[in-house]
Amino acid sequence: MESQRSGTEEAGASVGLESGSGAGTRPLRILVVAPSFDILGGQSVQAARLLSRLREEPSLEIGFLPINPRLPGFLHNLQRVKYVRTLVTSLFYVASLLARVHKFDVIHVFSASYFSFILAPMPAILVGKLYRKKILLNYHSGEANDHLTQWRRTAVPIIRLTDSVVVPSEYLVRVFARFELPARAIYNTIDAAEFRFRGRSPLRPIFASNRNLESHYGVDRVLRAFAIIQQDFPDASLTVAGDGSQRSSLERLTENLGLRNTRFIGRVDPASIFEQYDAADIYLNGSEIDNQPLSLLEAFACGLPIVTTDAGGIPDIVTDGKSGFVVPRGDYLRMAQCAIRLLKEPQIAKQFAEAGYKECCKYSWEAVRDSWMDAYRELANKEKRLAASETTVAPDRAGSERTA
């Protein structure tokens, strides 16, 4: 088998993370399995940022395999057909895993929850184990508690097959611990230099939301809060960025609430989302389920004061009364009251903006880079020990056979 040959052939050439660490050391080869920008969401953005940074590391050799590959020729047309798209894409994805996994030392798998877990992370984990590779599961979903509860007999055993679990928040560390799954937190990254911090003086009633339009992100709560805000500030405006299955129902809700100055602008390219933050003065987030939303970090980087719910790991990012207002999930009345307070007491908004910008330092590449290197180093050391055990056990077996 090719993986067995490569393991024995390279047993004498150790893998490492430090250049110049020895004559036999080569870069650690890591295959990142993650969604591309064709899939809307924070995972694709975070994967692209991480790939860009990892490729700058001389001690690493990085490959990328999208879970949503674009198929060539007539197969691309099949991807436009519902259900057929899932089948064809999944088959091509698994074939790509089988063709590429054996070339790498570590398989770094981005993961969401529910059915997505079955379609993307599970095949990567199983193929990785087939080739005896080290598997790092990078789990991002704020729905982890429900996912692991409802899919305990499938998801939990599959996760136990991995060699390391990395999550982007302490919140998910706590969730995984409930299922006796050890995990470490390595935060999502944001490059504050890509955004422009702007002081808001005077603070205007110009609001923004930037979440996928799915029910668990609570954009309907934002709209209901905005309806209350407009009672005090009739000229207030709201820009809703993002797209998803709830867009039509949210647009109908906007009409039913009689909202004015409310725009749905659809999906915004991550490279130009800064313009939407820069144009707004207050950011609203109504999540019902969440983890560590990049949009809040981006709002921090732009100097936007935030009013958000307390879903999932959000309180680990936004400290109520210090870097933003944090309200109970579903409480759009409280959300509206906090937003109105910011407009009437702009000095609080200024304090929030300054504290939020300082919070961004925790999420820079410089702050998390060593944590990623440590995670890979541990897997590299496991790989070295495995290779060493294979080279010592084989001669012993041969010797015993000759003696017999």
- Please check whether residue 56 is in contact with residue 49, taking contact to mean a CB–CB distance below 8 angstroms: no
Q: For residue 89, give Cα distances in angstroms to 75, 82, 94.
A: 9, 11, 9
Token couple for 37: 């920008």
Q: What is the pLDDT of residue 77?
A: 60
User: Would you place residue 393 in the very low, low, confident or very high pLDDT band (cuts 50, 70, 90)?
Assistant: low
| Alpha carbon distance 114, 144 (integer Å) | 9
Q: What is the pLDDT of residue 381?
A: 85
Token couple for 271: 């490279």
Q: Is the pLDDT of residue 3 over 90?
A: no
User: Would you place residue 44 in the very low, low, confident or very high pLDDT band (cuts 50, 70, 90)?
Assistant: confident
- H helices within 213-364, ranges in order? 219-232, 247-256, 274-279, 294-301, 314-317, 332-344, 346-359
Q: Is the pLDDT of residue 23 over 90?
A: no
Q: What is the pLDDT of residue 74?
A: 57
Which range (26-30, 41-45, 293-297, 342-346) has the least confidence?
Answer: 41-45
Q: What is the pLDDT of residue 180?
A: 97
Which range (20-34, 107-121, 377-391) has the least confidence?
Answer: 377-391
Q: Is the pLDDT of residue 9 over 50?
A: no
Read off the pLDDT of residues 347-371 as tens digits, 9 standing for 90 and up.
Answer: 999 999 999 999 999 999 999 999 9
Q: Compare 237 and 2 and report the one with higher pLDDT.
A: 237
Q: Is the pLDDT of residue 146 over 50?
A: yes
Q: What is the pLDDT of residue 105?
A: 96
Kind plus residue range of the DSSP H or E element containing 172: helix 170-178
CA nearest to 69, candidates 112, 46, 42, 100: 100
Q: Compare 236 and 21 and report the one with higher pLDDT.
A: 236
The pTM for the full model equals 0.84
| Alpha carbon distance 372, 51 (integer Å) | 12
Q: Compare 90 and 56 and report the one with higher pLDDT.
A: 56
- H helices within 234-292, ranges in order? 247-256, 274-279
The residue-averaged pLDDT of 72-76 equals 62
Distance between first and last Cα of the chain: 28
Q: What is the mean pLDDT of the chain?
A: 88
Interhelix angle for 84-100 vs 121-130, to 10°? 30
Q: What is the pLDDT of residue 11?
A: 42
Q: What is the pLDDT of residue 88?
A: 80
